[in-house]
């Protein structure tokens, strides 16, 4: 019995060990099978995206993303714990969005062509500007009551405007041009791949200052980027005016003008601009200009148009033997100097060679040569100072602001243009004692004591007194520091 008990006890121990070992092996096997089953994934089933682009999706600008089946199942299981991107609330079991689907797709909308941008820009308080690209058709007044520009398109929104093709949109003497979009337009009679610029002559055209600030500079700003490959279609055309500035036009376009008022053709172009780009009076803002052009580009362009030889003013430091030339603009009308000989002597005493001249009407080229030969231009506020655009870089512009409270007007008119053209700008304000208005009004008159009361009566009232009745007797002793500052600039 003892032996049997011993055997039974040993067998029990062996069985317990076998059972424990079997249990251990079984647990390891279960864990191993579980790990293997969880890691089994074919290359095609890895977490990657397969992009399929169908022809119908291409037409609508869509891309579909098709996900592998295993990834879809994992997303379905995890969706119970996820947050909805739209309402940020937990999803609930039983939600139909959690049910398995045969195919899960995500649609990404690609940008479509923007055809809603307006063809015209009315943001500038002074001017209107339209830019049309595509099937553009331009007709003259013989085809309708007014000249018109039509952009033919079946996809654009309908637009129709009456645009003043001049940089001062409130001018009543400039006829408007109809600008619109349409699905159809008159058939083409003249086809060309050359872009067109539609603008008007009128308004203040004929005044030398306004010729440049209202037409010539804006036209340069608008046409320069085309390098001559552009044609001008003009309303209110004035042949004498075009002839006056012929060198400028010949450098801006290689094509003949079209008189829209007399044209019975329908001109078809791929690109048309209506009106001219405008930033401010006689200035260019490079940040807004095509290709970042500036006033320096404009003055360089003018020197090329008129074959002017001097790009830079004299350097008295490099050439102390030379004398700087000062051009004294001698006005023949109002706001003229009444003591010219005295002014000439004062300038010569400082070291200048004085040139006394004024432009002949229509002889722009001749006067441009005179201006370019000088290093300083000096004159009372008026259109003659517009010629500063022909000065070489680093020259000096001196403006005499008439009495009374006209310093701001004078600064706005020629200050920025001069500085932006690479010139030193100096301004001198005329005192009451230097004004011939003392011959017409007593010293205690509001014309002198309260100039703003005159200014508030409007431009025409102000101009009648301060611009049309006033001449200047310059106090040369008071003015001498300005002359010294000018010549010192040329000595640097």
Tokens of 233: 């279609």
pLDDT of the residue at 54: 33
pTM for the model: 0.76
DSSP assignment of 272-332 equals EEES----BTTB--TTTSGGG--HHHHHHHHHHHTT---SB---TTT-TTS--EEEEE--S
pLDDT tens string for the chain (492 positions)? 444 444 344 444 544 455 455 556 565 554 544 443 443 333 333 333 322 223 333 333 333 333 344 444 444 443 333 333 333 333 334 443 333 333 344 444 444 444 558 999 999 989 999 999 999 999 998 777 789 999 999 999 999 999 999 999 999 899 999 999 999 998 999 999 999 999 999 999 999 999 999 999 999 999 999 999 999 999 999 999 999 999 999 999 999 999 999 999 999 999 999 999 999 999 999 999 999 999 999 999 999 999 999 999 999 999 999 999 999 998 888 899 999 999 999 999 999 999 999 877 779 999 999 999 999 999 999 999 999 999 999 999 999 999 999 999 999 999 999 999 999 999 999 999 999 999 999 999 999 999 999 999 999 999 999 999 999 999 999 999 999 999 999 999
Q: Environment class of residue 376 by beta-carbon count within 10 Å: exposed (0-12), middle (13-18) or buried (19+)?
A: buried
Write down the residue that tokens 């500035």 correspond to: 245
pLDDT of the residue at 373: 98
Helix (H) or strand (E) holding 451: helix 451-455
Can you tell me the distance from the alpha carbon of 275 to that of 230, in angstroms, rounded to the nearest whole number? 14
pLDDT of the residue at 51: 28
Can you tell me the distance from the alpha carbon of 214 to that of 386, in angstroms, rounded to the nearest whole number? 12
Which residues, at least 6 apart from 386, have a Cβ–Cβ distance to it below 8 Å? 208, 209, 212, 213, 282
Q: Which domains does the chain have, with CATH numbers?
A: 45-109 (no CATH), 120-290 (no CATH), 304-491 (3.40.50)
CA distances (Å), 372 to each of 217, 337, 369, 433, in order?
A: 18, 23, 5, 34
Sign for the CA dihedral angle at 55, 56, 57, 58 comes to: positive
Please give the angle made by the CA atoms of 304, 305 and 306, to the nearest 5 degrees.
95
pLDDT of the residue at 20: 56
Please give the angle made by the CA atoms of 323, 325 and 331, to the nearest 5 degrees.
155
pLDDT of the residue at 18: 55
């Amino acid at each position: 019995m003892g032996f049997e008990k011993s055997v039974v006890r040993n067998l029990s121990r062996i069985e317990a060990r076998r059972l424990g070992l079997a249990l251990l092996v079984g647990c390891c096997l279960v864990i191993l099978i579980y790990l293997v089953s969880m890691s089994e994934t074919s290359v095609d089933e890895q977490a990657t995206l397969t992009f399929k682009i169908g022809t119908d999706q291409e037409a609508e600008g869509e891309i579909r993303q098709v996900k592998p089946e295993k990834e879809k199942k994992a997303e379905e299981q995890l969706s119970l714990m996820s947050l909805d991107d739209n309402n940020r609330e937990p999803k609930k079991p039983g939600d139909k969005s959690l049910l398995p689907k045969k195919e899960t797709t995500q649609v990404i909308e690609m940008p479509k062509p923007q055809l809603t941008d307006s063809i015209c820009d009315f943001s500038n308080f002074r001017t209107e500007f339209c830019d049309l690209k595509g099937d553009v058709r331009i007709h003259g007044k013989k085809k309708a009551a007014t000249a018109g520009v039509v952009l033919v398109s079946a996809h654009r929104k309908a637009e129709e405007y009456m645009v003043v093709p001049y940089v001062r949109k409130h001018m009543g003497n400039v006829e408007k041009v109809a600008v619109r979009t349409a699905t159809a337009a008159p058939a083409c009679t003249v086809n060309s791949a050359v872009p067109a610029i539609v603008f008007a002559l009128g308004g203040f055209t004929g005044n030398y200052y306004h010729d440049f600030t209202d037409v010539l500079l804006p036209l340069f700003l608008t046409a320069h980027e085309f390098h001559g490959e552009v044609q001008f279609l003009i309303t209110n055309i004035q042949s004498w005016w075009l002839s006056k500035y012929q060198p400028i036009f010949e450098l801006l376009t290689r094509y003949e003008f079209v008189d829209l008022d007399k044209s019975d053709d329908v001109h078809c172009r791929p690109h048309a601009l209506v009106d001219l780009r405008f930033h401010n009076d006689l200035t260019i803002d490079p940040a807004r200009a095509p290709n970042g052009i500036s006033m320096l580009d404009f003055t360089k362009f003018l020197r090329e148009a008129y074959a002017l030889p001097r790009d830079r003013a004299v350097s008295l430091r490099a050439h102390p033997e030379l004398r700087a030339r000062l051009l004294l603009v001698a006005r023949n009308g109002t706001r003229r100097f009444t003591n010219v000989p005295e002014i000439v002597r004062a300038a010569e005493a400082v070291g200048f060679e004085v040139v006394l001249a004024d432009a002949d009407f229509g002889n722009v080229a001749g006067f441009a040569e005179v201006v370019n030969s000088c290093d300083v231009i000096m004159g009372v506020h008026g259109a003659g100072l517009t010629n500063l655009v022909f000065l070489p870089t680093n020259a000096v512009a001196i403006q005499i602001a008439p009495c009374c409270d006209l310093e701001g007007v004078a600064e706005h008119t020629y200050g920025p243009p001069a500085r932006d053209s690479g010139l030193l700008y100096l301004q001198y304000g005329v005192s009451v004692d230097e004004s011939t208005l003392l011959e017409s009004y007593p010293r205690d008159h509001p014309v002198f004591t309260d100039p703003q009361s005159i200014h508030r009566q409007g431009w025409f009232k102000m101009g009648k007194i301060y611009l049309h009745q006033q001449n200047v007797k310059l106090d040369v002793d008071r003015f001498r520091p300005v002359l010294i500052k000018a010549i010192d600039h040329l000595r640097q």
